[in-house]
Structure 1
Amino acid sequence: MELVWLEDFNVLAQSGNFSRAAELRHVTQPAFSRRIRALETWVGVDLFERTTQGATLTDAGRHMLDNAQEMTRRLYQMRQEAREVAGKQARTLHFAATHSLSFTFFPGWVRAAERSGPLEAIRLLSDNMSVCEHMLLGGEVQFLLCHQHPDVPPRFAADQFQSKVVGSDLLVPLRARDSEPAAPGIAPPHLAYTAESGLGRIIAARLRKEDRPPTLNTVFSSHLAAVLLSMAQEGKGFAWLPRTLSEAEVVNGKLVRALDEHWDIPVEIRLFRPNTALSDFAEDFWAKL
């Protein structure tokens, strides 16, 4: 049995799609499918039900998932700690953070955290929410920094992780000041987040709660809030943008409201970590937050 098989299993269980999982694992789909089949052969049972819509876990696969995720995290943590004990790696804190928070919130937040004691080294990996969740699940990072909403839990087992609120944000529907507002009865052009985006999940959940959600004419989509910000500034449509990212453009008048305050979405900024023990300096950092 190979560790990469367990990593493949975890990613496919999360994504539910062979093509997407292969992309996340940076291999071709045929090679990825062969590795999943090799794992199933080693276990002796089918772990996924394959359909035209994707892949879903069998009962055996669901039973195996928590242990597979925990085992993968522990193996990477063991390697990391062995390197630190041998002096071959600096005492580094490993973070995954979604793109918008990496550019706006993270630098100032880390500077504030250092007031309680200097941090020797930091490694930040920035990507969309789906990839960040995968990095935390796989043990590649100790911490995940992301936007969070009570109605949209992360895609990992809640009982295996804990979190702290470290900030707040607000998603505001914004458009360019010079763009024409939509005429009555006409759906305004909407700049949307893709399914890999955590912000997209939050907005979709908010709209599902509305008895009369706005009619949206989606003309463009991206998992990057910064790209949607740029498109909105160019007058291509409106987007729900984090205040931490768009505040300067609102203050200078380049962006204005596309919808009234009823459609604002308050969100938390949370830091997640596994329940299993981290290295001493990572635990010390967590305790001081």
Structure 2
Amino acid sequence: MSFVYKADPVRGREWASLFARHAPDIPFHIWPETGPREEVRYLAAWMPPDDILKTFPNLEILISVGAGIDQFDLSALPEHLPVVRMTEPGIAESMAEYVTMAVLSLHRDLPVYINQQRQKVWREIRVTSAARRKVGVLGLGMLGLAVLQQLRPFGFPLAAWSRSGGQVDGVDTFAGPGMLSAFLARTDILVCLLPLTDATRGILSHDLFAQLPHGAALVNVGRGAHLVEQDLLRALEEGQLSAAVLDVCEAEPLPLDHPFWDHPQILLTPHIASMTRPETAVDVVLDNIRRHAAGEALIGLVDRTRGY
């Protein structure tokens, strides 16, 4: 019974050290090293091998090293193979920090001031109180809940939309396609934390932007494929959107000739909003291995009918 890690090898070495300390009985390998492939029972990966069961014929669990699983082609994975999302708490903590930074930056007009600094312009903008700036979060999973909790002390009126809904203290919640328009109409700063599925691909589009109040702003920390990039540029040019903070893009790294690099209304970061922390990730993975051995439910098990 062995474990293979197929992602960033630097972090893989940290995982290896933690496995040696906490689970010395489980042989640990960093791809492309695998040891005897018929002995591999657990695979943690960003991108699994193309023919996963041919590579690892006795694999029992596939674990994503990130919170999302959209990089996996679920249709190409055997139906009996459990697929597990990474649920370690460091992902939610760092995402909540980043989104708080982004929302406050938009609330206090930081993109405008950065552009003014470049132009050597000294011009103040009247401050709007947080109580008058409505923040809306698309997505009400682990990350969405962490973000809402972090934003609550600032006094923003908070709302969240998800497909299935839910109740959160101090947050107006909207559920299902029929309530999306009402959610957008009350949202000044929109945060996208949706999983990427066929239903959400391209959701950040001209039609959605048109339903936001004029001059609203966007934070995309979901996936680059959520955003129709030309529609964002058009919305910024027309003034329907005032600014955007983007941590994810359709092509990563972003091509050097891409208009996002120099756009005065866009703040851009290189997909760093949240990162898996090896020390807590290994704890979560080892707990799931224990659960699997005991026949208990796995934490973060993907529902293939929903795609997340």
TM-score in same-fold range (> 0.5)? no
Flag the structure with more relative contact order, 1 or 2, with Cα contacts below 8 A and sequence separation at least 6: 1
In terms of fraction of residues, the more helix-rich structure is 1
More strand by share: 1
TM-score by length of 2: 0.28
